[in-house]
Homo-oligomer: A and B are copies of this chain.
Amino acid sequence: MTTLHLYDSQTRTVRAFEPLHPGKVGMYVCGATVQGGPHLGHLRTALTFDIVRRWLEHSGYQVTHVQNVTDIDDKILAKAAEAGVPWWAWAQSHEREFHAAYRALGILPPTYEPRATGHVPEMLDLIARLIERGHAYVGEAGNVYFSVPSWPDYGKLTNQGADDVVPGEDEAAGDKRDPRDFALWKAPKEGEPATARWQTPWGEGRPGWHTECSAMSCRYLGETFDIHGGGLDLRFPHHENERAQSTAAGWGFVRYWMHSAWVTQSGEKMSKSLGNYLSAESVLSRHPAPVVRLALSGAHYRSMLEFSDSTLAEAQVNWDRFTGFLDRAADLVGEVPVGQLPPEFTDAMNDDFGTPAAFAVIHEHVRRGNIALADADAAVVQAEAGAVRGMLAVLGLDPVQWQAGAGADTAAQEALDALVARLVEQRTAARAAKDWQAADTIRDQLAAAGIVVEDGPDGARWHVKGD
């Protein structure tokens, strides 16, 4: 039996996973800057770490998953001012949009989701500590900076010598000592509201983006923790800066770094600034949530995911194949409980969360199950259906759960089930009595209502077209 190995993007090697504390995993994932609503790129990152967490939990670990909400930054302040609403209300309304999209996609809520503005005292403590240790200073304009030259280890996460580092673009304030230095704390800019300022020993101001993640990860996971995750675009400068802050503060910080690749369209990164993004809402309103989930988790998390209409069409075909098999199996042997995972699936997931190989295993078992169905071999059908449900479940794709969860309008669904079952029965009786006209009438009635009836060796099955 294999054990979990994962690609650590600092050492750039696949390493055996060994948690700091046996049986427990602390995982910090960079969450959203809630300047606007979520797009598919955000959802992919969240889904990547949802699968990581589910697999860790399946493997027996108790996972503490902390994911921040960046609820103050330049863009939030600017956009809220433009919209004429308080920045904190602007941030919260988008925080809610993220939650709704996560919920729709079956992404488990993190153990805790702290807001940056809720952790100013911890940030001030960290900054004081860095100043005391000679790794930070207060600029003339009241900004506080991390001093990159003071920390020879800087650049190691992204494999750059400190001299090669090109400064991040939003750090071009005038009171830096070195262009590579970055802001820990920002003095207020003209026109920014009084509510966006906190008192500090160095004057009024607000958090720098990088500071919050170092402060909050330490607060909730301790000075050293297991996994730090985020989107690939956060590696530099965000994670390099986080790492500099936390390690210069004397903390062990992160043992494994994981980065999730982008969603691309025509090869370009999907992003707000490029304007080539698909909003979560636009996709989730047009496609069933498990299909979107399948589309976003089919590629390996470290590969770019080129997204087009055919990505969703392919996911729909796969979803229909999975659910079609499980439905037919249930017709033969009754609903099958979640079964044990085949070893090849476990191997695939243990190999750096290899979802493409994992889905290949699922397809192979569906293939075997379909053969067994054709042979009406109930024992094999039962075993394969259990395995398929088990594998889908650990990926957050258990069709039985999705059906139950989607049944908000249960009364309508139940009425539909009962009505269609009765009509299908009558049609079967009519066929048995060779009353072809009656049988066809019923079939036409159902078809006109968008209900597709399929005759198989085990009797007729039906589903709502496009459901």
Contact = CB atoms under 8 A, between A and B. Distances in A.
Nearest to A120: B121
Contact of A111 (B89, B117, B120, B219): B89
A92 interface: yes
Interface in A390-413: 406-409, 411-413
A413 B195 CA distance: 47
A180 to B, nearest CB: 30
A418 B450 contact: yes
Interface in A72-130: 86, 88-89, 92, 96, 109, 111-115, 117-121, 125
A448 B418 contact: yes
Nearest to A405: B408
Contact of A464 (B109, B117, B411, B464): B411
Most B Cβ at <10 Å: residue of A120, A409, A426? A409
B121 A199 contact: yes
Nearest to A285: B410
A12 interface: no
A323 to B, nearest CB: 14
A14 interface: no
Contacts of A64: 86, 89
Nearest to A441: B426
A423 B446 CA distance: 10
A117 B117 CA distance: 10
Contacts of A456: none
Interface residues of A, number: 49
B418 A198 contact: no
Contacts of A89: 64, 111-112
Interface in A408-463: 408-409, 411-416, 418-420, 422-423, 426, 445-446, 448-451
A109 B409 CA distance: 23
Nearest to A407: B409
A366 to B, nearest CB: 23
Nearest to A115: B118
B416 A419 contact: yes
Given A109-B96, A198-B121, A445-B423, A408 B408 contact: yes
Interface in A117-175: 117-121, 125
A466 interface: yes
A467 interface: yes
A277 interface: no
Nearest to A289: B408
A413 to B, nearest CB: 5
Q: Which 8 A-B pairs have the closest CB atoms?
A: A118-B118, A408-B408, A419-B449, A418-B449, A411-B467, A416-B416, A415-B464, A89-B111
Given A115-B115, A121-B121, 11 more contacts: A86-B112, A86-B220, A120-B121, A121-B199, A406-B409, A416-B416, A419-B420, A419-B445, A422-B445, A422-B448, A423-B445
27 contacts: A86-B220, A88-B114, A89-B111, A89-B112, A92-B113, A115-B118, A118-B119, A121-B121, A121-B198, A195-B220, A406-B409, A407-B408, A408-B408, A408-B409, A409-B412, A409-B413, A411-B450, A411-B464, A411-B466, A411-B467, A412-B467, A415-B451, A416-B416, A419-B451, A422-B445, A423-B445, A426-B445
Interface of A: 64, 86, 88-89, 92, 96, 109, 111-115, 117-121, 125, 195, 198-199, 219-220, 406-409, 411-416, 418-420, 422-423, 426, 445-446, 448-451, 464-467
